Amino acid sequence: MARRRMKRKTQRRRSKSGFNLVNALELYVQTDVITRNVMGTNPFTALTGMESMTQKQTDGRGMVTGYITSTGYNPSAASVTLPELAGIGSATVGQGIDTIKANFQANLFPMLIQSIGVRAGFAIGKKLMSKQRSFINNKMLKPLGLKSVVTV
């Protein structure tokens, strides 16, 4: 007997989901955990090399009268940045690899705990806030036509 031909089910078209802000925030926090424990700085500074430097301001007798804070490229700092690793500016290529190795060995266990904590926190937070996130996505962003651009 011949096989019976079945009607083909029509598939629903799924609308494109937008840029998820919660997932982007989780990615940034995970990146922050890694860069702080391995490179000794935040992700922005690790990428650009622009660090905040503080210098003591003293009077003629050696008494501290204040502090001056400036931002700039400082390859001799305790933190390591990508421009230093690439040898940009006054840094030599690979400068800071020893610091990265030492930081990684010293901070491996705390970094793992922090990373697991961030993942668990976001997973629990997403479950607890699902109704609020759904409200924002469906009742606020959808009428404005922004749901295809950004989601929460």
Domain assignment present for residue 109? The answer is yes
The answer to whether residue 23 is domain-embedded is yes
Q: Has residue 1 been placed in a domain?
A: no
Q: What is the pLDDT along the chain (152 residues), one digit of tens a residue?
A: 667 777 666 777 666 677 999 999 999 999 999 999 999 888 988 888 777 666 677 777 777 777 766 666 666 667 788 888 887 777 777 778 888 899 999 999 999 999 999 999 999 999 999 999 999 988 998 888 888 888 88
Domain span at 116: 19-151
Judge whether 14 lies within some domain. Answer: no
Does any domain span residue 143?
yes
Domain tally for the chain? 1
Return the HEC string of the chain: CCCCCCCCCCCCCCCCCCEEHHHHHHHHHHHHHHHHHHCCCCHHHHHHCEEEEEEEEECCCCCEEEEEEEEEECCCCCCCCHHHHHCCCCCCCCCCHHHHHHHHHHHHHHHHHHHHHHHHHHHHHHHHCHHHHHHHHHHHHHHHCCCCCEEC
| Assigned domain for 2 exists | no
Query: Does residue 120 belong to any structural domain of this protein?
Result: yes
Domain membership of residue 71 (yes or no) is: yes
Q: Give the pTM.
A: 0.73
